[in-house]
Structure 1
């Protein structure tokens, strides 16, 4: 019996084809990752035109979030003391970055201004620095999305600062798209409360009035916009910061 010798080029080609088929099968067997974002989309043309000559500017520094959710994977609650890290359900960027970007986009549209964080700005224009510390970022599938954040608005180059707390829970239906949308709505609600505080703080020097947290937000501490007044009463307590 004689055997035909297979040319070496054919053997190499067959091995390469087998490797490609194995890689394709492995890819088919691994579920694809899905990515979510909290950003609401591009600013409207009207908002962009308004922001070309703003009366004041804002700064939105990086946002702090709890370490257990500071990862790209969605972390969902399965019980009061249990969570589940979802490998295939991921944020487009880290949650702190997603929240900061969504806050910046919404605030610049609501206030008709520009976020100048990390960018030089003129001395003659008032600047309000908005710092946010997220203390709870909870995802309950089929129930609700919750954000508990302490935030402050400080008038740069002055002693005026307002510190408040927002606790926002948004009901959600089943599915992870609904959870992401619930968190997006929660960030928008917090943005609305921050925007109201910025407006109040910006108007306070002109009218000589003190400033409190918005009615929908609690205030662990709120300082007066006027240096002559040491403190004001906020929703839940009084305090001052210099």
Structure 2
């Protein structure tokens, strides 16, 4: 109801009803604004830097996220099977985008590489493709922030691949700022495991081509992908 309609109708109601109606309108207009959170932590350094070309590149694909938390509103739980969707506490973008953006920044910094997903890169450069499937993204205010993810790294040139699992559970204090900080720490732990995986794959030698006789019309075929063991801080995917 607009104010004009309200005051027009107010002439036909008792004064007590008029006061009650005005109070109701004031209550509606004073609802708390939504707060927005991000997993990307800016350093505040505005200095422009131009870096040397990277020795290799990353292709971090979009992150998969459980459908029940794939929304801007925070979804929290208290340790039971019941969850709450918080309208006033929201992510700045979808959680999958928040996790991917934070992972990309962490991996680029830890490895000295560039994430070129969806971006042209020099031909012949070493490229490592990273895929992350978050199977659990749990938020328990005052208790914990948990990320359980299966991830893989594949070398484009050496055809080496590994698939691992990382479970990162961080205790958090009261408040949503602490909860978001806990999720950021969980992403940092996940990035550390993936960085170790990239280093493992990058150290694998390139496969040799299968030999063929001079009379054979078939071209040499590359060896099949080689499965590598997970690094020490990650478990094999189940």
Q: TM-score, normalised by structure 1?
A: 0.75
- Conserved in 2, the CA contact under 8 Å of 1:204 and 1:210? no
- Conserved in 1, the CA contact under 8 Å of 2:146 and 2:169? yes
- Conserved in 2, the CA contact under 8 Å of 1:64 and 1:96? yes
Residue of structure 2 in register with 1:11 after alignment: none
SS in 1 for 2:90: strand
Residue of structure 2 in register with 1:229 after alignment: none
**Superposition map of 1:64-213 within 5 A:** 64-205=64-205, 211-213=228-230
Post-superposition offset of 1:204: 1.9
Gaps of 5+ in 1: 1-13, 222-242
Residue of structure 1 in register with 2:237 after alignment: 220
Q: Pick closer, same or farther for the CA change 1:98–1:199 going to 2, 3 Å.
A: same
Post-superposition offset of 1:46: 10
- Conserved in 1, the CA contact under 8 Å of 2:160 and 2:228? no
Gaps of 5+ in 2: 8-21, 209-225
- Conserved in 2, the CA contact under 8 Å of 1:47 and 1:112? no
Post-superposition offset of 1:29: 1.6
Q: Pick closer, same or farther for the CA change 1:210–1:87 going to 2, 3 Å.
A: closer
Q: After the TM superposition, which segments of 4 or more aligned residues of structure 1 sit over 6 Å from their partners?
A: 43-47
SS in 1 for 2:120: coil
Q: Pick closer, same or farther for the CA change 1:158–1:220 going to 2, 3 Å.
A: same
Count of residues in correspondence between the two structures: 205
Post-superposition offset of 1:156: 2.0
- Conserved in 2, the CA contact under 8 Å of 1:43 and 1:109? no
